Structure 1
């Protein structure tokens, strides 16, 4: 069993299921998927993508933005409401920036891994990576196993 298949088995979900679960859980599924996948991803690809701080910040910021802020909004005091909304916007922006950096690090590690281990030039579109974040990385992990299989078949 190739390590591309092992990586796919560690991700353990199709991209469409990932998208549906992410929608149903308000994005928390993607964070848990990443938290579970990243140690194995680092081990298999031999990369050092640090994520614990980013994931903890993401969970806290998601809670703050989705749970605390809506319950704290008081339309009787518009100043406090605006301040809370600005804080939520700031935290959400930081969260998105950190997650984007993390996903682009995963993208680079996956490309390097494919080139080094399987001699495959894995083309991962940076625009899709930016737009579809976790879903595109999940798709690329699943696709890597297929590309390795096709390469093996073509060499025979």
Structure 2
């Protein structure tokens, strides 16, 4: 046979038909692989001001804090107030950085933590320390309210200067709901901008 003769080292006769496909004698021809790189994503154009700095968007503050008010209330109850203290510490830094308005320093947050912590330790001890715990608890609540009013002022200035939004935050809710109301107003910033754009006759922003 032709294939046997070829494997034995004999040459093909000139008139002998070649087998189809031709024998490779154990040599595999590598396959050609064509790789096509996917197109590179086109970067989204950023809005910059006349100083060359990237302009903020109305969702910046909301996305950075990223806390729903309902979850905030539930977590505060579940952690006996600890979550609220941590939220104020974190949000104080974010709001100050985003609005370029300093709210309070770390010493203020430390005193807030001291009042809240000692009020829980001195409460229901069955002694005169109960009165001390009550006073510290009221002091901690007052510090929360003061921080809320500072945040309220910073948010109003930020919304007016950056986005021309007249953010009217209720003083009554700021006093009684304090931190929870601040978080609600932060999450409501995009909706407030949409409403005011409609009233001014401007097209809705994406």
Question: TM-score scaled by structure 1?
Answer: 0.84
Structure 1 residues 85 and 70: CA distance shift in structure 2, 3 A: closer
Cα RMSD (Å): 2.0
Are 1:38 and 2:83 an aligned pair? no
Q: Answer whether contact 1:3 1:44 (CA < 8 A) is retained.
A: no
Are 1:54 and 2:101 an aligned pair? no
Match of 1:9 among 63, 80, 88: 63
Match in the other structure for 1:78 = none
Higher relative contact order (CA 8 A, sep 6+): 1
Give 5+ residue unaligned stretches, structure 2: 1-45, 47-55
Query: Which protein has the bigger helix share?
Result: 1
Higher-Rg member (1/2): 2
Structure 1 residues 3 and 38: CA distance shift in structure 2, 3 A: farther
Match in the other structure for 1:136 = 181
Question: TM-score scaled by structure 2?
Answer: 0.65
Number of equivalenced pairs: 147
**Runs of 4+, deviation exceeding 3 Å:** 149-154
Give 5+ residue unaligned stretches, structure 1: 76-80
